[in-house]
Structure 1
Amino acid sequence: MSEFSVDTQAPVLVAGASGFVGSHTARLLCEQGRRVRVMLRKSSDTSAIADLPVEIVYGDVLDVPSLKAAMQGCQSVFYSVVDPRFWLSDPAPIYRNNVDGLVNAMEVALTLGVSRFIFTSTMGTLGINPDGPVTEDIEFNWLDKAPPYIKARLKAEQEFLRYCREKSLPGVALCVANTYGPHDYQPTPHGKMLWDIAEGRVGFTMGAGAPTVDIRDVAIAAVAAETKGKLGERYIIANEFISNRDFAALAAAEGGHKPPKVIPMWFAYCMVGLIQAIMILLRRKDYIVRTSAVYLSNVFQEMDHSKAGRDLDWQPRPIKQTIKDAAAWYATRPQPEK
């Protein structure tokens, strides 16, 4: 890896700072005394960064001039822009925002001579390993089952790694698992489920499971990747794999409620398949209840984060502590709209 030292006088750009990962990255950078600039849309909810001493630049990753204005003079870029709308019937916006927007940002970064480009990717770009934990070396091997959202995220990461390889983009990718933790203002879908379980509002959960990670540890990994990450490589940022049963039991205990019942996956597929069939008959579009979502809820298994441990000195906290801290923070918030 080429030598790199942080210039605390130079600004850093956090793109997507209104989101969960971006806001926590901006928060950690501010705590470290960095000059933080954030790029937001004018319609963005700024609740997650309202208390931070950041410079706000309004723009859009599909608007190249605004990207140049936001990135001008920045030493590093922390790119956490993502369009998560897996439920869209038309995947074109997902590809535009997740792929074309990233390409625009990388081109601008190369033009302006940015020293580091830290890209928040997803565990969804990793391959499946039936024989053990997933590592970064396992190539994607389930394209036939992947929904459009995953294919778009995969294409984005492939473009990122190609830019690193062929155009010498000084980039590092983070393959992030399901995130939980405090300061989840939106809240995220995973976070809202934790909140609802802790408040006793969930009657059942699927017999699935997934890798998890504390959002604060994601920010720690991103900032560490700036100075310690190997250029052109990706790192698994995932901690413990936990079943929905165990996760729900921990969350429910924080709120003093009984955990929800667990339904088998075959029953979940039947229920969701029926609802999806009705939606199709009614010619509805952009509905969240899809069999692909059920599949994704259980496709990701145990993941090996030892590479991040070695290179980034990354030591994530246990999921039990994350759930406890998240539930405590949610308890201070108004009840979510139904």
Structure 2
Amino acid sequence: MGKQLVIGASGFLGSHVTRRLVERGEDVRVLIRRTSSTRGIDGLPVERHYGDIFDGDAVRAAVAGCDVVYYCVVDARAWLRDATPLWRTNVEGLHRVLDVVAGVELQRFVFTSSIATIGIAAHGKATEELPNNWLDRAGEYVRTRVAAENLVLRYHRERGLPAVAMCVSNTYGSGDWLPTPHGGLVAAAVRGKLPFYIDGAQAEVVGVRDAADALILAGERGTPGERYIISERFMTAREIYRTACAAVGVEPPRIGVPIQALAAAAVPSAWLARIRRTDTRLTPLSIRLMHVMSPMNHTKAERELGWRPAPTTEALAEAAEFFVGARRRPAEDRS
């Protein structure tokens, strides 16, 4: 392939896409903000362009001469009381980028979507054929993700953009510097700071390197206009923390709080947050998102892209080792 552009290379998944491309010997360019942390890509031989997704000139300059664009920008703060930042980044900013790339000859535009855009299956596992059918209880974050994916696919239908939508689940692995919301819980568990697990919480999961590989495969052979589920397996919260803690030899959280009890506690938590005009991660919506979705079938990605993910248990072990190591690392090395 020719030159590859990663938009959002400073993020967890974007940094891994960048690194995997470099490891393959590709010619890689990144578009990042000057204020973004670059710990995930420091030392990599990539061409850096600076700007954000609302800067049309910066996007045009970054896209020029590229064959494939990997779009890895997302605001995942599902707990925000005011969803304006979510809509601005996840939909409005994306729209600005699509207006630019729709006028460029590209081989692929690989869009990082979410498994939240997939519907809930009445029976068995959900597939890409099932559109989201639970928006009435999904919250604004999921609404922005569905709107963003629909926008990308509309640009494919109406303007011929060779876009592929990658419906990625919760990613785990090393290099989760921020960390992600789900990674932060693993970090707390392996550091002995998570007093309990939520009994009934469950999620689709995937190793971040495998997710990055799936995006790169889509850049080579993904069918424009198609969605691909990028998830390796379905795990309970207890399984996730037990796997991570075992990898670093610490005791996992032993107390399981029923998800119904936590949902009840979330009601006054959300009420107090509204009164104080602050954000809280403990809301009825955040608890609902921990168990609402169906297990998913990722065989389409295997069949059409040649994707072969490793067991996510391995990625959880890597995440655990990373979080423990990051805690021990001197402060000057983390700056």
Interval of TM-score (by shorter of Structure 1 and Structure 2): over 0.9
Cα deviation per residue 1:107-136 (whole Å; 9 max; x = unaligned)?
Answer: 211222222100000011110013111100
CA shift, 1:27, in A, is 0.3
CA shift, 1:259, in A, is 2.0
1:35 aligns with 2:40: no
- The secondary structure found in structure 2 opposite 1:75 is strand
The answer as to whether partners of 2:113 and 2:145 remain within 8 angstroms in 1 is yes
CA shift, 1:331, in A, is 2.5
1:145 and 1:333 mapped to 2: Cα distance?
37
1:277 and 1:98 mapped to 2: Cα distance?
26
The equivalent position to 1:129 in structure 2, one of 121, 138, 150, is: 121
CA shift, 1:88, in A, is 2.3
1:305 aligns with 2:298: yes
CA shift, 1:90, in A, is 2.1
1:102 aligns with 2:94: yes
The answer as to whether partners of 1:209 and 1:301 remain within 8 angstroms in 2 is no
Query: Counterpart of 1:259 in structure 2: which amino acid?
Result: P
Query: Counterpart of 2:273 in structure 1: which amino acid?
Result: M
Length-normalised TM-score, structure 1: 0.93
CA shift, 1:256, in A, is 2.3
1:218 aligns with 2:211: yes
Q: Which runs of 5+ in 1 are unaligned?
A: 1-5
Amino-acid identity (%): 40
Query: In the alignment, what sits opposite 1:268?
Result: 262
The equivalent position to 1:117 in structure 2, one of 91, 94, 109, is: 109
The answer as to whether partners of 2:107 and 2:219 remain within 8 angstroms in 1 is no
Cα deviation per residue 1:59-115 (whole Å; 9 max; x = unaligned)?
Answer: 111121111111111111000011122222222221121112112212211222222
1:142 and 1:249 mapped to 2: Cα distance?
30
Query: Counterpart of 1:204 in structure 2: which amino acid?
Result: F
- The secondary structure found in structure 2 opposite 1:129 is coil
The answer as to whether partners of 2:269 and 2:280 remain within 8 angstroms in 1 is no
- The secondary structure found in structure 1 opposite 2:167 is strand
CA shift, 1:289, in A, is 2.2
Task: Give the 4+ runs in structure 1 shifted more than 4 A.
Answer: none
1:335 and 1:170 mapped to 2: Cα distance?
45
Query: Counterpart of 1:262 in structure 2: which amino acid?
Result: G
CA shift, 1:335, in A, is 5.6
Cα distance change, pair 92–279 in 1 and its aligned pair in 2 (3 A): closer
CA shift, 1:250, in A, is 1.4
2:280 and 2:263 mapped to 1: Cα distance?
16
CA shift, 1:143, in A, is 1.3
Query: In the alignment, what sits opposite 1:172?
Result: 164
- The secondary structure found in structure 2 opposite 1:334 is helix
1:257 aligns with 2:247: no
Cα deviation per residue 1:278-326 (whole Å; 9 max; x = unaligned)?
Answer: 222x332333222111111111231100000000111111122111122
Cα deviation per residue 1:242-301 (whole Å; 9 max; x = unaligned)?
Answer: 111121211222232322111111101011112112222x33233322211111111123
The equivalent position to 1:288 in structure 2, one of 250, 257, 281, is: 281
1:297 and 1:130 mapped to 2: Cα distance?
18
1:91 aligns with 2:83: yes
For residues 237-248 of structure 1, the aligned pairs below 5 Å read 237-248=230-241
Q: Which runs of 5+ in 2 are unaligned?
A: none
Number of residue-to-residue matches in the alignment? 328
The answer as to whether partners of 2:164 and 2:225 remain within 8 angstroms in 1 is yes
CA shift, 1:164, in A, is 0.8
